[in-house]
Amino acid sequence: MSPTSPTQPSAPPLAELYRDHNGWLLGWLRRQVGCGHAAADIAHDTFVCVLEKPRAMDGVKEPRAWLVTIARRLVFANWRRQDLERAWVAELAALPEAVAPSEEERAIVVETLFAIDRLLDGLSDKARRAFLLSQLDGLTYAEIAAELGVSVSRVRQYMTQALTRCYAAL
Amino acid sequence: MPRSDTVPPQADPAAAQAIAWAVRLRSGEAGEAERAAFRAWRQADPRHEAAAARLEQSLGLFDSLPGEAAARSGLRRALLAPANRRRMLRDTLGLLLLGAGSGALVHRQMPVNDLFADLHTGTGERRRYTLADGSQLWLNARSAADLAFDASQRRLQLRSGELIVEVARDPARPFVVETAEGSVRALGTRFLVRQEAGSTLVAVLHSRVALEPQAAAGSVLAEGASARFDRRAVYPESQAPRGIAAWEDGFIEVHDRPLADVIAALRPYRSGVLRVAPEAAGLRVTGTFPLDDSERTLAALAEALPIAVRRRTDYWVWIEAR
């Protein structure tokens, strides 16, 4: 068998997609996020997503609309990550003996918060609060019930909802 | 884009038990005996062990966070910080300009990109929308509403089902929900409207609303109150608004209400027919029941009340007095 590669049957190959639309996507993203670096990162991640699911490319008639669909999801995620980071930095500043964490430690915390946020996505606000009061603050269900103004059995139901999501997420 | 709030682990007994154990052990009241019982359960079957390990692994995510109590509370507040409203609006605008494909709405909230839109939910589906003015809208299962915003007012026609709205302030443009019997005008922020057969139910969760039946003088409903109106009159209701609005969290919450009410609330969450015999319909019910697992709710009702749940198929279920 000769090692020459067979001709690629797939419609618009990644290289072509990148060549034809990367510049345009970058421009679109820059208008969305207003920052060149973030736009470049998201454009890069968009193509990584495409690379990870080459089959999804089949039958795409409007490559730009499709790229924007993926990119927008990443823009949302990027905003959420920024929101979480900003909120955490504000919390850090308010901590009593602010042991300034390194850049790396901070990045790990922000990524972890982001992962937890996605894990709990779709839960009601009260269920999120109940779960986080238990998981992070270590409150008992009776304390959580008092905090949220609900019954202990309701707290148990919130915990079941949240833990079910954690279980399913893996 | 149908989205289900229920996840399959309930279908797997080992997973459901592992979750139930985790819920029990975290209550703050579990003692050594309970922990030992958990260890015994875990060792009794490799499937138990696998399920418990999987849950632990998923929760291991929290281990990479700082452990000091003050920091943990800060982390919680960071996670509960709301999404930046301005960005939400900007994105709404982006959708409007671009008008490209759907399927991009992955956030918990669903921005509505249009000043005129038909919003609707299917069986078993609840949705939260962010409207163009920044107002938040929750639509219960099997509900439909039409949006009509213009320069002078914000109108929302509830065609069927039930909604909760949290109104963004805009003194220049009143926010009005219209039903078949009249309209509900926001004087404050948060209220619920349900279209029933021949009448409208309103519950005020925050601030006040003005009720305006089509053929009667209007009246004001205060926070914490609920009322029904038809075209001719307003009737006070005794139910607590928080209970009426419990579907937002995925529950039915009733205090001394007829079984028929609970079943009515459950119907939009099930396909097929669900009936109550007249002798059973008036039985009084108190409690909190999950909407997203209606089979469990029916089982819980059958345990608590002198009723029998009979079924010909999963789509034809009726409830009789026992």
Are β-strands B136-139 and B144-149 bridged in parallel, bridged antiparallel, or unpaired? unpaired
Reference B186, options B200, B201, B172, B207; nearest CA is B207
Domains and CATH numbers, chain A: 10-98 (1.10.1740), 120-170 (1.10.10)
Q: What is the pLDDT of residue B300?
A: 82
B265, containing H or E segment = helix B259-266
Q: Please tell me the total number of residues recorded for chain B in this structure.
A: 322
Least confident range from A83-97, A136-150, B2-16, B169-183: namely: B2-16
User: What is residue A34's three-state secondary structure?
Assistant: coil
Q: Are residues B130 and B217 in the same domain?
A: yes
B321, containing H or E segment = strand B316-321
Residue B157 sits at the chain A interface (C-beta within 8 Å): no
Reference A157, options B243, B276, B291; nearest CA is B291
Are β-strands B209-213 and B219-221 bridged in parallel, bridged antiparallel, or unpaired? antiparallel
Q: Are residues B207 and B148 in the same domain?
A: yes
The C-alpha atoms of residue B213 and residue A80 are separated, in whole angstroms, by 43
Q: What is the pLDDT of residue B225?
A: 92
Q: Which residue has the higher pLDDT, B322 or B184?
A: B184
Q: What is the pLDDT of residue B97?
A: 29
User: What is residue B185's three-state secondary structure?
Assistant: strand
Residue A116 contacts residue A147 (beta carbons within 8 Å): no
Q: Which two tokens stand for residue B294?
A: 């209606």
Q: Are residues B114 and B239 in the same domain?
A: yes
Quick count: other Cβ atoms within 10 Å of Cβ A96? 7
The C-alpha atoms of residue A72 and residue A51 are separated, in whole angstroms, by 17
Quick count: other Cβ atoms within 10 Å of Cβ A51? 11
Domain with B262, as residue range(s), is 250-321
Asked if residue B263 belongs to a domain, the reply is yes
Contact: A122, B87; criterion CB under 8 Å:
no
pLDDT band at B96 (very low <50, low <70, confident <90, very high): very low
Asked if residue B223 belongs to a domain, the reply is yes
Q: Which residue has the higher pLDDT, A167 or A65?
A: A167
Quick count: other Cβ atoms within 10 Å of Cβ A35? 13
Q: What is the pLDDT of residue B116?
A: 61
Contact: A91, B74; criterion CB under 8 Å:
yes
> Read out DSSP for B19-40?
HHHHHHHTSS---HHHHHHHHH
Q: Are residues B195 and B114 in the same domain?
A: yes
Q: A169: which DSSP letter?
A: H
Q: Is the pLDDT of residue B98 over 50?
A: no
Q: Which residue has the higher pLDDT, B220 or A124?
A: B220
- CATH code: domain of residue B290: 3.55.50.30
Asked if residue B39 belongs to a domain, the reply is yes
pLDDT band at B112 (very low <50, low <70, confident <90, very high): low
The C-alpha atoms of residue B139 and residue B159 are separated, in whole angstroms, by 12
Distance from CA of A6 to the nearest CA of B (A): 34
Asked if residue B98 belongs to a domain, the reply is no
Residue B57 sits at the chain A interface (C-beta within 8 Å): yes
Residue B234 contacts residue B261 (beta carbons within 8 Å): no
Choose from A88, A97, A123, A136 for mutation: most chain B CBs within 10 A: A136
Asked if residue B303 belongs to a domain, the reply is yes
Query: A87 to chain B: nearest residue by CA?
Result: B78
* Percentage of residues of chain B with pLDDT beyond 90: 37
Distance from CA of A168 to the nearest CA of B (A): 6
Q: Are residues B171 and B225 in the same domain?
A: yes
Q: Which residues of B touch A24 (CB under 8 A)?
A: none
Q: What is the pLDDT of residue B279?
A: 87
Region B271-289: mean pLDDT is: 85
Residue B60 sits at the chain A interface (C-beta within 8 Å): no
- CATH code: domain of residue B170: 2.60.120.1440
Asked if residue B3 belongs to a domain, the reply is no
Q: Is the pLDDT of residue B241 over 50?
A: yes
Last residue of a domain, one of B208, B243, B278: B243
Q: What is the pLDDT of residue B8?
A: 59
Contact: A83, B84; criterion CB under 8 Å:
yes
Least confident range from B8-22, B89-103, B161-175: namely: B89-103
Q: Which residues of B touch A65 (CB under 8 A)?
A: 100-101
Q: Are residues B139 and B222 in the same domain?
A: yes
Contact: A167, B76; criterion CB under 8 Å:
no
User: Which of residues 214 through 233 in chain B touch A, CB cutoff 8 A?
Assistant: none
Q: Are residues B238 and B262 in the same domain?
A: no
Q: Are residues B260 and B314 in the same domain?
A: yes
Last residue of a domain, one of B206, B223, B243: B243
By Cβ distance, the residue of A133, A154, A163 closest to B76 is A133
Distance from CA of A126 to the nearest CA of B (A): 7
Query: A114 to chain B: nearest residue by CA?
Result: B79
Q: How confident is the model over B47-88, as pLDDT tens digits?
A: 999 999 999 988 988 888 887 777 888 889 888 876 653 344
Number of domain units in chain B = 3
Residue B11 sits at the chain A interface (C-beta within 8 Å): no
Q: Are residues B199 and B279 in the same domain?
A: no
pLDDT band at A5 (very low <50, low <70, confident <90, very high): very low
Core vs surface per residue B284-297: b (16+ CB within 10 A) or e: ebebbbbbbbbeeb
Choose from B6, B56, B79 for mutation: most chain A CBs within 10 A: B79
Q: What is the pLDDT of residue B5?
A: 38
Asked if residue B210 belongs to a domain, the reply is yes
Residue B133 contacts residue B170 (beta carbons within 8 Å): yes
Q: How confident is the model over A153-165, as pLDDT tens digits?
A: 999 999 999 999 8
The C-alpha atoms of residue B314 and residue B322 are separated, in whole angstroms, by 20
Are β-strands B190-196 and B182-186 bridged in parallel, bridged antiparallel, or unpaired? unpaired
Q: Are residues B124 and B212 in the same domain?
A: yes
Q: How confident is the model over B31-47, as pLDDT tens digits?
A: 899 999 999 999 999 99
Least confident range from B30-39, B152-161, B229-238, B266-275: namely: B266-275
Asked if residue B27 belongs to a domain, the reply is yes
By Cβ distance, the residue of B23, B79, B100 closest to A163 is B23
Choose from A78, A86, A128, A164 for mutation: most chain B CBs within 10 A: A164
Q: Is the pLDDT of residue A68 over 90?
A: no
pTM higher than 0.95, yes or no? no
Last residue of a domain, one of B221, B243, B265: B243
Average pLDDT score, chain B: 82
By Cβ distance, the residue of B26, B29, B249 closest to A127 is B249
Choose from B68, B90, B108, B128 for mutation: most chain A CBs within 10 A: B108
Q: Are residues B123 and B199 in the same domain?
A: yes
Q: Are residues B49 and B127 in the same domain?
A: no
By Cβ distance, the residue of A68, A96, A124 closest to B100 is A68
pLDDT band at B108 (very low <50, low <70, confident <90, very high): very low
Q: How confident is the model over A14-54, as pLDDT tens digits?
A: 778 888 888 888 888 887 776 777 788 888 888 887 777 76
Q: What is the pLDDT of residue B226?
A: 94
